[in-house]
Amino acid sequence: MTSVHSPSVRLKKLEHGYDMDLPFYATSGSAGMDLMAALTETVSLKPGERALIPCGISLAIPQGYEAQIRPRSGLAFKQGLTVLNTPGTIDSDYRGEIKVILINLGQETATIERGMRVAQMVIAPYAQVKLHEVSEFKEEDLENTRSKEGFGSTGLFSIKQSIK
Protein backbone atom coordinates (compact mmCIF):
# COMPACT_ATOMS: atom_id res chain seq x y z
CA MET A 1 0.00 0.00 0.00
CA THR A 2 1.37 3.45 -0.86
CA SER A 3 0.73 6.69 0.97
CA VAL A 4 -0.15 10.03 -0.58
CA HIS A 5 3.48 11.18 -0.15
CA SER A 6 5.12 8.14 -1.77
CA PRO A 7 7.64 9.23 -4.40
CA SER A 8 7.85 7.50 -7.73
CA VAL A 9 11.22 5.90 -8.46
CA ARG A 10 12.13 4.86 -12.00
CA LEU A 11 13.98 1.54 -12.22
CA LYS A 12 16.03 0.22 -15.13
CA LYS A 13 16.81 -3.51 -15.41
CA LEU A 14 20.34 -4.13 -16.59
CA GLU A 15 21.29 -6.85 -19.06
CA HIS A 16 22.37 -9.38 -16.40
CA GLY A 17 19.19 -8.68 -14.40
CA TYR A 18 16.73 -9.26 -17.25
CA ASP A 19 14.98 -12.26 -15.65
CA MET A 20 15.13 -11.03 -12.04
CA ASP A 21 12.15 -9.93 -9.97
CA LEU A 22 11.94 -6.23 -9.23
CA PRO A 23 12.74 -5.24 -5.64
CA PHE A 24 9.61 -5.80 -3.55
CA TYR A 25 8.13 -5.33 -0.10
CA ALA A 26 7.80 -8.81 1.45
CA THR A 27 4.79 -7.76 3.58
CA SER A 28 2.34 -4.86 3.70
CA GLY A 29 4.18 -3.50 6.75
CA SER A 30 7.71 -3.76 5.34
CA ALA A 31 9.78 -0.57 5.33
CA GLY A 32 12.41 -2.07 3.05
CA MET A 33 12.22 -3.72 -0.36
CA ASP A 34 14.19 -6.91 -0.82
CA LEU A 35 17.11 -6.77 -3.27
CA MET A 36 18.18 -9.89 -5.17
CA ALA A 37 21.62 -11.04 -6.26
CA ALA A 38 21.95 -10.78 -10.05
CA LEU A 39 24.99 -13.03 -10.16
CA THR A 40 26.23 -14.78 -13.28
CA GLU A 41 27.85 -17.45 -11.08
CA THR A 42 27.51 -18.55 -7.45
CA VAL A 43 29.71 -16.78 -4.89
CA SER A 44 31.12 -18.58 -1.84
CA LEU A 45 32.22 -16.39 1.06
CA LYS A 46 34.50 -17.91 3.69
CA PRO A 47 34.34 -16.46 7.20
CA GLY A 48 35.75 -12.93 7.13
CA GLU A 49 35.49 -12.57 3.33
CA ARG A 50 33.46 -9.92 1.55
CA ALA A 51 32.12 -9.51 -1.96
CA LEU A 52 30.38 -6.89 -4.06
CA ILE A 53 27.06 -8.42 -5.14
CA PRO A 54 25.34 -6.89 -8.21
CA CYS A 55 21.55 -6.45 -8.13
CA GLY A 56 21.02 -5.97 -11.88
CA ILE A 57 19.17 -2.66 -11.55
CA SER A 58 19.77 1.08 -11.55
CA LEU A 59 17.44 3.72 -10.14
CA ALA A 60 16.41 7.31 -10.81
CA ILE A 61 15.67 8.45 -7.26
CA PRO A 62 13.97 11.85 -6.97
CA GLN A 63 16.00 14.70 -5.49
CA GLY A 64 15.41 14.97 -1.75
CA TYR A 65 15.37 11.16 -1.35
CA GLU A 66 18.01 8.48 -0.94
CA ALA A 67 18.01 4.70 -1.04
CA GLN A 68 19.43 3.12 2.12
CA ILE A 69 20.88 -0.38 1.72
CA ARG A 70 20.55 -2.48 4.88
CA PRO A 71 21.14 -6.07 5.97
CA ARG A 72 18.41 -8.69 6.12
CA SER A 73 18.06 -9.77 9.74
CA GLY A 74 17.52 -13.45 8.92
CA LEU A 75 20.74 -13.69 6.90
CA ALA A 76 22.66 -11.86 9.59
CA PHE A 77 21.38 -14.05 12.43
CA LYS A 78 21.27 -17.44 10.72
CA GLN A 79 24.38 -17.24 8.50
CA GLY A 80 26.39 -14.25 9.73
CA LEU A 81 25.96 -12.48 6.37
CA THR A 82 25.61 -8.74 6.72
CA VAL A 83 26.07 -5.56 4.70
CA LEU A 84 29.18 -3.44 5.15
CA ASN A 85 28.86 0.34 5.07
CA THR A 86 25.44 0.03 6.68
CA PRO A 87 23.27 1.72 5.87
CA GLY A 88 24.79 2.30 2.48
CA THR A 89 23.48 5.42 0.77
CA ILE A 90 22.48 5.57 -2.88
CA ASP A 91 22.30 9.28 -3.72
CA SER A 92 19.56 10.73 -5.89
CA ASP A 93 22.02 11.64 -8.64
CA TYR A 94 23.60 8.15 -8.93
CA ARG A 95 22.54 6.17 -12.01
CA GLY A 96 24.92 3.21 -11.83
CA GLU A 97 24.09 -0.34 -10.81
CA ILE A 98 22.91 -1.00 -7.28
CA LYS A 99 25.42 -3.34 -5.62
CA VAL A 100 25.61 -4.70 -2.10
CA ILE A 101 28.82 -5.21 -0.10
CA LEU A 102 28.25 -8.48 1.75
CA ILE A 103 30.58 -9.84 4.44
CA ASN A 104 30.50 -13.23 6.10
CA LEU A 105 30.86 -12.78 9.86
CA GLY A 106 29.67 -16.33 10.47
CA GLN A 107 31.59 -19.50 11.29
CA GLU A 108 30.87 -21.36 8.02
CA THR A 109 31.30 -20.64 4.31
CA ALA A 110 28.19 -18.90 2.96
CA THR A 111 26.86 -19.38 -0.56
CA ILE A 112 25.19 -16.55 -2.47
CA GLU A 113 23.20 -17.64 -5.51
CA ARG A 114 21.42 -15.83 -8.33
CA GLY A 115 18.01 -14.58 -7.22
CA MET A 116 18.82 -14.81 -3.49
CA ARG A 117 17.45 -11.93 -1.43
CA VAL A 118 20.66 -10.39 -0.04
CA ALA A 119 19.69 -6.98 1.37
CA GLN A 120 16.85 -4.55 1.77
CA MET A 121 16.45 -1.06 0.38
CA VAL A 122 14.61 1.75 2.16
CA ILE A 123 13.74 4.93 0.24
CA ALA A 124 13.92 7.86 2.67
CA PRO A 125 13.84 11.66 2.52
CA TYR A 126 16.91 13.65 3.51
CA ALA A 127 17.78 17.29 4.11
CA GLN A 128 20.84 19.18 2.95
CA VAL A 129 21.84 21.71 5.60
CA LYS A 130 23.91 24.87 5.56
CA LEU A 131 26.91 24.74 7.88
CA HIS A 132 27.91 27.91 9.73
CA GLU A 133 31.38 27.88 11.28
CA VAL A 134 31.60 29.52 14.70
CA SER A 135 34.43 29.98 17.19
CA GLU A 136 32.16 29.25 20.16
CA PHE A 137 28.67 27.83 20.62
CA LYS A 138 25.88 30.09 21.83
CA GLU A 139 24.35 29.37 25.23
CA GLU A 140 21.22 28.00 23.49
CA ASP A 141 23.43 25.49 21.61
CA LEU A 142 24.65 24.08 24.94
CA GLU A 143 21.28 23.58 26.63
CA ASN A 144 20.32 19.93 27.16
CA THR A 145 23.60 18.63 25.71
CA ARG A 146 25.47 15.46 26.53
CA SER A 147 29.06 14.92 27.51
CA LYS A 148 31.81 15.56 24.94
CA GLU A 149 32.99 11.98 25.39
CA GLY A 150 30.27 10.35 23.23
CA PHE A 151 30.82 6.61 22.53
CA GLY A 152 28.93 5.18 25.49
CA SER A 153 28.85 8.35 27.58
CA THR A 154 25.17 7.84 28.44
CA GLY A 155 25.86 4.48 30.13
CA LEU A 156 24.73 0.92 29.56
CA PHE A 157 21.40 0.85 31.36
CA SER A 158 18.22 2.87 31.25
CA ILE A 159 17.91 5.94 33.44
CA LYS A 160 15.34 4.12 35.61
CA GLN A 161 17.88 1.35 36.31
CA SER A 162 20.64 3.89 37.04
CA ILE A 163 18.49 5.70 39.65
CA LYS A 164 17.83 2.53 41.68
- Each residue's pLDDT tens digit, 10-56: 999 999 999 999 999 999 999 999 999 999 999 999 999 999 999 99
Instruction: Tell me which of 151 and 58 has the higher pLDDT.
Output: 58
Structural domains present in the chain: 10-125 (2.70.40.10)
Quote the Cα angle for 112-113-114, to 5°.
135
HSE-up of residue 102 (Cα within 13 Å, Cβ side): 33
Whether the bond into 62 is cis, omega within 30 of 0: no
Quote the Cα angle for 41-24-90, to 5°.
75
Q: What is the pLDDT of residues 78-105, one digit of tens each?
A: 999 999 999 999 999 999 999 999 999 9
The pLDDT score that the predictor gives to residue 163 is 56
Q: Compute the distance between CA of residue 139 and CA of residue 147 in angstroms, rounded to an integer.
A: 15
Print burial letters for 1-27: b (CB count within 10 Å at least 16), e (below 16): eeeeeeeebeeeebeebeebeebeeee
